[in-house]
A and B are shown apart, each in its own frame.
Chain A
Amino acid sequence: MGNIRIRAVMNGGYADIKCLMLHPEDTGLVKNKATGKLIPAHFITNVTATVNGKTVLSAQWGIAISKNPFLAFRVKGAKAGDKLVISWVDNLGESASGTATIAAS
């Protein structure tokens, strides 16, 4: 838990950003087959991305997001060397951040 893998590369006029977060994304609707009990909900509720400290993306997520969430987005006006920070918090209050430097194309 807590690991965010980030790839950020300039592509023409925008930074092409892809990230993968390690998280179980349990919906709370699935039973543990061994015990017959529901596996408690455990999912990311909020994600933010900043470039050089400015927020570009703030997301709220529900239980439908797949396990180990994948997110891709594009930021116009960003440039190689800019600092990207991606952070998440989940419904249990756990959180993580990952940083990357945007690479030239």
Chain B
Amino acid sequence: MNEHRRKFIQGTGTAGALGVSLAAGLLPTRAFAAWNKGAFSATSLPAVEKLLGIAGAANSNQITINAPDIAEDARIVQIEVSSTLPNVQSIKLVVDKNPDPLAADFTLENGMEPYVTTRIKMKETSMVRAFVTSGGRTYTAAKQVKVTIGGCGG
């Protein structure tokens, strides 16, 4: 088998896989939960807490937020949340001073470690909060991230 034929076969395989993933992409609704428009549109921390039923969450030193003290670029602030709490079911990320404070809500199952990292935009200096639900109870931790130039105004 010559080199060209080999490459052609590999190329065909790639196109096939792409076709399958595109086809899968046409049927997304079954796999995705409804988007919590109310909570994601809420404009204050108390409103988010109320809508998500996480008001009064106890502070926990078993939650670690790894984020910069000062954001170099407020459009790209990397936030890592991990926890040593058992049976973590969800991790929520809230930025108090953002226009829409709720940034992300992760549901974990089937062996997911209590660890997520993502990058967010921040409008101004704010507390960044993680809410971790473990065994049906929600715990929280917070870290301040300083912003010198906002990430929401372009």
Contact = CB atoms under 8 A, between A and B. Distances in A.
B120 A65 contact: yes
A74 B113 contact: yes
Interface in B28-46: 28-29, 31-33, 35-36, 40
Contacts of A35: none
Interface residues of A, number: 45
Interface stretch (B1-9, B56-64, B95-103, B135-143): B95-103
Interface in B90-138: 95, 98-100, 102-113, 115-122
B15 interface: no
A105 interface: no
Interface residues of B: mostly helix, strand, loop or mixed? Answer: mixed
A76 to B, nearest CB: 4
Interface in A53-105: 54-67, 69-78, 85, 87, 89, 91, 95-99
B104 A61 contact: yes
A17 to B, nearest CB: 10
A87 B32 CA distance: 9
Contacts of A70: 78, 117-119
Nearest to B120: A64
B153 A30 contact: yes
A29 interface: yes
Contacts, number: 148
Contacts of A63: 40, 99-100, 121
Contacts of A74: 112-113, 115
Interface in B52-92: 75-78, 80
Given A29-B152, A98-B21, A54 B115 contact: no
A46 B33 contact: yes
A74 B75 CA distance: 25
Given A55-B109, A85-B24, A95-B28, A61 B103 contact: yes
15 contacts: A2-B22, A48-B32, A54-B110, A56-B108, A56-B112, A62-B103, A64-B95, A70-B118, A71-B117, A72-B116, A73-B117, A85-B21, A89-B32, A95-B26, A97-B21
